[in-house]
Amino acid sequence: MQRQLKLVTLLIFAVGLLVVLSNSTFRMPGNQQNYEPIQPIEFSHRLHAGEMDIPCQYCHYGASQSRHAGIPATSVCMNCHKYVSATKEDFQLEEQEAVSDGREMESITSIEISKIYEAMGYDSLGKPIDGKEGKSVEWIKVHNIPDYVFFSHKPHITAGVDCADCHGDVTSMERIKQTEDLSMGWCLDCHRKDHESLEAAPERTQLLLDCATCHY
């Protein structure tokens, strides 16, 4: 009888452990999958890259020329937001109110866009205030890989790798989330694949499995 008692307690403990582990998204240290930090400006990729279909490299112009794709300078945002200071719906709403109150339309600025103006050191209507220094926006870096890995965007873009392969379907993300675990094994799955599929780099795969490809 005493033996059965021990067996039962063991079983309960095992099940409990399983339950705990499954939903606490157990991850190895250093694995940041599904990391989705709150950014200083609620920039929506879905709206810009998805709906308005702005190409990735318009803002992340470093991707094809350097190791870092680079986060766009605030002045790049100002290329459009010098004119667009609120969403279409807000404008239409304001227009109706102006028509209903019979007054002139005031220029309105949405909260997020006002953050851009503030960063540039402009007033709330996007006009520069002389003498006021702007301060760059401190974005939170989402995709962090260890500093002993030399990852360069340039060869990947040259080889025709699509941004979504590593960054996931950004065009549908309100806030950027790391969809892949970016582990070494995950990178190697792609590096080991035969490369006839990628037109720009019909390389033999052995070359891409050298340690010095990413570690030096």
Partner 1 sequence: MSKDKKYWMSKNEISADEVVAGPADLQTTSTDWNRRDFLKTAGFSLAAFMTACSKTPVNKAIPFLIQPEEVIPGKAYWYASTSHACGSGCGVLVKNRDSRPIKLEGNPDHPVSQGGLCPVCQASVIELYDSKRLFNPMISEENVTWDRLNTNVVQGFRKSRKNGQRIVILTETITSPSTKYYIQKFLKKYSNAKHIEYDPISYSSILDAHEVSYGKRILPQYHFDKADMILSLDADFLGTWISPTQYTKDYRKNRSLDADHISKHVQIESRVSITGAKADKRYAKSVSEIFQLAQDIEHALQSNKAHGLGSELATELKQHKGKSLVISGINDLSIQILVNRINNALENINKTVNHRSPSKQKNGSDLAVAQLLSDMKSGQVGALIIDGVNPVYDLPEGEQFSRLMESIPITIAFSQKETETSSQCNTICPSPHYLESWSDDEFTSGILSMTQPTIQGLGNTRTLRKSIASWAGIENDERILVRNYWKKNYSTRKKGSQSFNRWWDNLVHDGFVTIKPFPLTMGIFRQGTLPKSDFKKGLTLVAYPSLQMLDGRHSENPWLQEMPDPIMKLTWDNVACISQIKADELNLNQGDIIQLSSNNTSVELPIYIQEGQHNDVVAVALGYGREGTQRFKNIGPDWIQKKDTLGENELVGERITHLLSRQEGNIVFSGIPVSMTPTGKKADLALTQTYNTLANPENTAPPSMKVRPFIQETTFDEYKKDPSSGAHHGHQVVTLWKDDHPYEKHHWGMAIDLGACTGCSACVISCQVENNVPVVGKDEVYRRRDMAWMRIDRYYSGEGDDIDVAFQPMMCQHCDNSPCEPVCPVLATVHSSEGLNQQVYNRCVGTRFCANNCPYKVRRFNWFDYAHNDELENMVLNPDVTVRSRGVMEKCSMCIQRIQEAKIEAKAKGLPLADGDIKLACQQSCPADAITFGDLNDPESDISKLVEDPRHYHVLEELNARPTVGYLTMVRNREEEKGGNHHG
Partner 2 sequence: MANHVESIREPLVHGNKNLKTITNDVLGIMDKKPTRLWWIGFLLALSALTLGIVAVSYQIMTGIGTWGLNKTVGWAFDITNFVFWVGIGHAGTLISAILFLFRQKWRTSINRSAEAMTIFAVMCAGMFPIIHMGRPWMAYWMFPYPNTRGPLWINFRSPLAWDVFAISTYLIISAVFWYIGMIPDLATVRDRAKTRVKKAIFGFLSFGWSGSFKTWHRYETVYGLLAGLAAPLVVSVHTIVSFDFATSAIPGWHTTTFPPYFVAGAVFSGFAMVLTLLLIARKTLRLEDYITVKHIENMTKVIILTGGIVTLSYATEFFMAWYSGNGYEQFVFLNRAMGPFAWAYWIMVGCNLITPQFFWFKKIRTNMLMVFILTIFINIGMWFERFVIIVTSLHRDFLPSSWAMYKPSYVEIATLIGSFGLFFTLFMLFIRYMPIISIGEVKSVLQFKGRSGGKK
Residue 135 interacts, among partner 1, partner 2, none and using kind-specific CB cut-offs from 5 to 8 Å, with partner 1
Alpha-carbon distance 172 to 65, whole Å? Answer: 26
Paired tokens of 3: 């033996």
Alpha-carbon distance 158 to 64, whole Å? Answer: 7
Residue 96 interacts, among partner 2, partner 1, none and using kind-specific CB cut-offs from 5 to 8 Å, with none
164 binds partner 2 (CB under 8 A): no
Alpha-carbon distance 108 to 91, whole Å? Answer: 8
- Name which of 131 and 185 has its Cβ closer to partner 2: 185
Paired tokens of 175: 């806030």
Q: Where do contacts with partner 1 occur on this chain (CB under 8 A)?
A: 24-30, 32, 35, 37, 61-62, 64-68, 70-76, 119-120, 134-141, 144, 146-148, 150, 152, 154-155, 158-159, 200-201, 204, 206-207, 209-213, 215-216
Alpha-carbon distance 120 to 5, whole Å? Answer: 70
Residue with tokens 């200071």: 85
Considering only residues 173 to 212 of the shown chain, the ones binding partner 2 according to CB under 8 A are 181, 183-186, 188
Residue 204 interacts, among partner 2, partner 1, none and using kind-specific CB cut-offs from 5 to 8 Å, with partner 1
Please, are residues 78 and 105 in contact by the beta-carbon 8 Å criterion? no
31 binds partner 2 (CB under 8 A): yes
Residue 53 interacts, among partner 1, partner 2, none and using kind-specific CB cut-offs from 5 to 8 Å, with none
Please, are residues 120 and 74 in contact by the beta-carbon 8 Å criterion? yes
- Name which of 3 and 127 has its Cβ closer to partner 2: 3
- Name which of 38 and 211 has its Cβ closer to partner 2: 211
Contact pattern from residue 1 through residue 30 relative to partner 2, giving x for each residue in contact according to CB under 8 A and a dash for the rest: ---------------------------x--
Q: How far apart are the first and last CA of the chain?
A: 62
- Name which of 75 and 96 has its Cβ closer to partner 1: 75
Q: What is the full DSSP assignment across 98-124?
A: HHHHT-PPPP---HHHHHHHHHHTB-T
Smallest separation, CB 83 to partner 1 (Å): 18
Q: In sequence order, what are the residues at sequence separation of 6 or more whose Cβ sits closer than 8 angstroms to the Cβ of residue 38? A: 140, 175
List contacts with partner 2 (CB under 8 A). Answer: 28, 31, 181, 183-186, 188
